Amino acid sequence: MDEGIDTTAVYRDTRLRIRGLVTEADGAGDTIVPACPSWRVRDVVAHLTGVCDDILTGNLDGVATDPWTQAQVERRAERPLAEVIEEWDDVGPRVEALFGPGGALPQLVFDEVTHEHDLRGALRRPGARDDVAVDVGLGFLVEGMNASFGQGDLPAVRVCCRAEEWVLGEGEPAVTVTASAFDLLRSFSGRRTIDQIAALDWSDDPARWFAAFTFGPFTVPAEPVE
């Protein structure tokens, strides 16, 4: 990731895009989000709002775990979507001010932009796939993927995206995958099936590396979700 990127501004701009997206989709609060199958649109917004609230209140025990995120949703489960958005309008700018220019953690941008595209898929409103938030999110992911691709005896993988290149795993790469930042972000974050991952531009048969795509909390879906 370019160290000159103002990640706080990226976080803010992504928040505002999501706000516009869900506000314009009138009556869509109960729409199921296939990439987060137990959540509706309102639940995704509740989670994103809850992240900001928990940062401000110091409620960071179990941060990023399923119970932590589910509690954010449950606390807002009975509130109208408009009311949750109103809360996000309050806590979001306060978190951004807390971080200051360039200070938002790439993990926060990753979480936010991932859910932006989960919502876009659910609402059939594609867009912003070339936004800098996608690059920031991908940069966060590839830093954490080394352990996943370094499991067992797997050789390293070279990942190419535009002019950028990363090596995941240890040693000389045995295969190269080339794709857009958007497709890599979705593939590495449990939003692509094995068939979709295999359809990326691989220099050799990628089958032996498929298990590495279950990185961290992410699992490969059985059916396409976008």
pLDDT confidence bin for 216, thresholds 50/70/90: confident
Q: What is the dihedral of CA 200, 117, 8, 93, to 10 degrees?
A: -170
Phi, psi of 7 (to 5 degrees): -65, -25
Report the pLDDT averaged over residues 182-206.
Answer: 97
CB 130 within 8 A of CB 182: yes
Helix (H, G, I), strand (E, B) or coil at 151: coil
Per residue in 96-109, pLDDT (tens digit) is 999 988 899 999 99
pLDDT exceeds 80 at position 215? no
Arithmetic mean of pLDDT over the chain: 93
Tokens at 72, concatenated: 């954010």
- Going by the DSSP 8-state scheme, the letter that residue 40 receives in this structure is B
pLDDT exceeds 90 at position 3? no
Q: State residue 154's pLDDT score.
A: 85
Per residue in 33-61, pLDDT (tens digit) is 999 988 999 999 999 999 999 999 999 99
pLDDT exceeds 60 at position 137? yes
**Any idea where the domains of the chain sit in the sequence?**
7-123, 138-214
Q: State residue 213's pLDDT score.
A: 86
Q: Of 197, 8, 217, 225, which is closest to residue 109 (Cα–Cα)? A: 8
Report the pLDDT averaged over residues 114-118.
Answer: 98
pLDDT exceeds 80 at position 165? yes
Q: What is the dihedral of CA 129, 130, 132, 133, to 10 degrees?
A: 10
Report the pLDDT averaged over residues 161-172.
Answer: 92
Return the percentage of the chain with pLDDT > 90, whole number.
Answer: 80
Residue type, 126: P
pLDDT exceeds 70 at position 210? yes
Domain 138-214 has CATH 3.30.1050: yes
Alpha-carbon distance of 88 to 206, in angstroms, equals 41
Residue 66, Cα to own-chain centre: how many angstroms? 15
Report the pLDDT averaged over residues 160-189.
Answer: 95
Report the pLDDT averaged over residues 80-84.
Answer: 95
Helix (H, G, I), strand (E, B) or coil at 110: helix
Phi, psi of 159 (to 5 degrees): -110, 125
State how beta strands 156-161 and 173-178 pair: parallel
Tokens at 92, concatenated: 């979001």
Report the pLDDT averaged over residues 160-182.
Answer: 94
Q: State residue 2's pLDDT score.
A: 62
DSSP letter string over 135-152? Answer: HHHHHHHHHHHHHHHTST
